[in-house]
């Protein structure tokens, strides 16, 4: 990479608070090719998520799934809505192509409608929960972060009433703040792919801890959450910025293994993983976060803070 290329990109795009209200400057920014160093090794996720979001906006701007999710009007009405818009968006194409694209978009909207309907009525029977628990063998972990469920969580999930006191940890990972509430350490059922592709629903279900599941929610893109990191007052390290929990969930669920540069075989299937900042003094956004196992954690014991400190953040 040429230094000229680096500085040209930075000059065009950095510090553009005034420029972001000026269409000519925006033009200039939009026409830049984004160099890889900007992505800090997260190019795949950063680009893929924004492409998916653009497509989602495009599809939903043609026909709003929310309206159909709350109505009795079915697929035929979706087709009708899309049919009206398609000639305006693609004026030059043949009737045959128009029909094809109409069907294609209508199906995408319908899937989204089903997904939004589905969310509201998901409640697994006890029997299904037991089956799901057994599928994961002897060491049940959160499929996202690798947190190993406690016996308390198991008993609660499987409906045994004689479970003892909630084993909330005394110290918590300050980057994730996992373990502050009962929900964080509970077992929940997560839909990996937010909607099933007509196949069998069970393939889509995983056990997740309440922390991961609540922060994942129905989010799918890094860009779904606010950009402002929160601040924690660390006893030894001073004020520390902490990442948005969903960014951690997104990174862990996609990477699924320790990113230690010397190589490591720890994955969320055999260990609980977390994140650390590549540049400790930098903001905790997705380009600065790396997935790490406890053995390679550069933060060491500094990672853990008392509940009191952690509770001041949330």
Residues that bind Zn ion (CB under 5 A): 142, 144-145, 147, 209, 212, 258, 260, 264, 266, 293, 296
Nearest distance, CB of residue 291 and Zn ion, angstroms: 9
Nearest distance, CB of residue 173 and Zn ion, angstroms: 11
- Using the minimum distance from each CB to Zn ion, give the nearer residue, 46 or 145: 145
Nearest distance, CB of residue 264 and Zn ion, angstroms: 3
Q: Which two structure tokens, joined as six digits, stand for 57?
A: 């906006």
- Using the minimum distance from each CB to Zn ion, give the nearer residue, 42 or 176: 176
Nearest distance, CB of residue 310 and Zn ion, angstroms: 16
Give φ, ψ of 267 to 5 degrees: -130, 170
- Using the minimum distance from each CB to Zn ion, give the nearer residue, 82 or 144: 144
- Using the minimum distance from each CB to Zn ion, give the nearer residue, 42 or 290: 290
- Using the minimum distance from each CB to Zn ion, give the nearer residue, 63 or 144: 144
Instruction: Find out whether 113 and 181 touch, Cβ atoms under 8 Å.
Output: no
Local structure of residue 184 (DSSP, 8 states): G
Nearest distance, CB of residue 253 and Zn ion, angstroms: 9
Cα distance between residue 256 and residue 146, in whole Å: 9
Nearest distance, CB of residue 203 and Zn ion, angstroms: 20
Nearest CA among 51, 50, 20, 54 for reference residue 286? 50
Residue that is written with structure tokens 């969310």 in the block: 119
Nearest distance, CB of residue 83 and Zn ion, angstroms: 43
Angle between helices 95-121 and 43-62 (to 10 degrees): 100
- Using the minimum distance from each CB to Zn ion, give the nearer residue, 186 or 266: 266
- Using the minimum distance from each CB to Zn ion, give the nearer residue, 142 or 180: 142
Instruction: Find out whether 222 and 45 touch, Cβ atoms under 8 Å.
Output: yes
CA dist 84 → 55, 61, 63, 65, 87 (Å): 19, 13, 10, 16, 7
Nearest distance, CB of residue 259 and Zn ion, angstroms: 8
Gyration radius of the chain over CA positions: 23
Question: Is residue 122 classed as helix, strand or coil in its secondary structure?
Answer: coil
Question: Is residue 237 classed as helix, strand or coil in its secondary structure?
Answer: coil
What is the CA angle 76-86-105, rounded to 5? 55
Cα distance between residue 159 and residue 115, in whole Å: 27
Q: Which two structure tokens, joined as six digits, stand for 271?
A: 């260990």
Residue 245 neighbours by CB under 8 Å, 6+ apart:
176, 177, 211, 215
- Using the minimum distance from each CB to Zn ion, give the nearer residue, 41 or 74: 41
């Amino acid at each position: 990479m040429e230094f000229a290329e680096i500085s040209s990109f930075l000059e065009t795009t950095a510090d553009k608070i005034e420029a972001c209200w000026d269409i000519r400057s925006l033009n200039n920014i939009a026409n830049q090719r984004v160099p890889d160093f900007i992505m800090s090794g997260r190019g795949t996720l950063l680009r893929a998520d924004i492409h998916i979001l653009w497509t989602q906006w495009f599809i939903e701007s043609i026909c709003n799934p929310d309206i159909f999710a709350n109505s009795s009007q079915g697929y035929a009405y979706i087709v009708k809505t899309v049919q009206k818009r398609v000639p305006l968006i693609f004026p030059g194409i043949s009737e045959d192509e128009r029909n094809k694209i109409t069907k294609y978009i209508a199906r995408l909207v319908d899937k989204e409608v089903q997904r939004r309907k589905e969310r509201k009525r998901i409640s697994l029977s006890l029997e299904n929960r037991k089956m799901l628990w057994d599928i994961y063998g002897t060491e049940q972990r959160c499929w996202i972060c690798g947190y190993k469920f406690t016996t308390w969580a198991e008993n609660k999930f499987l409906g045994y009433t004689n479970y003892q006191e909630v084993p909330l940890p005394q110290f918590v990972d300050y980057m994730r703040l996992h373990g502050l509430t009962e929900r964080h350490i509970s077992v929940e059922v997560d839909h990996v792919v937010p909607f099933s592709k007509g196949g069998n629903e069970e393939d889509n279900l995983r056990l997740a801890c309440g922390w991961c599941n609540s922060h994942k929610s129905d989010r799918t893109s890094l860009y779904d959450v606010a950009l402002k990191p929160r601040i924690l007052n660390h006893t030894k390290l001073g004020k520390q910025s902490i990442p948005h929990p969903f960014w951690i969930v997104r990174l862990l669920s996609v990477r699924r293994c320790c990113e230690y540069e010397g190589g490591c075989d720890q994955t969320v299937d055999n260990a609980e993983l977390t994140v650390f900042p590549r540049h400790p003094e930098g903001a905790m956004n997705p380009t600065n976060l790396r997935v790490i196992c406890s053995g390679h954690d550069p933060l060491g014991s500094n990672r853990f803070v008392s509940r009191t400190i952690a509770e001041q953040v949330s």
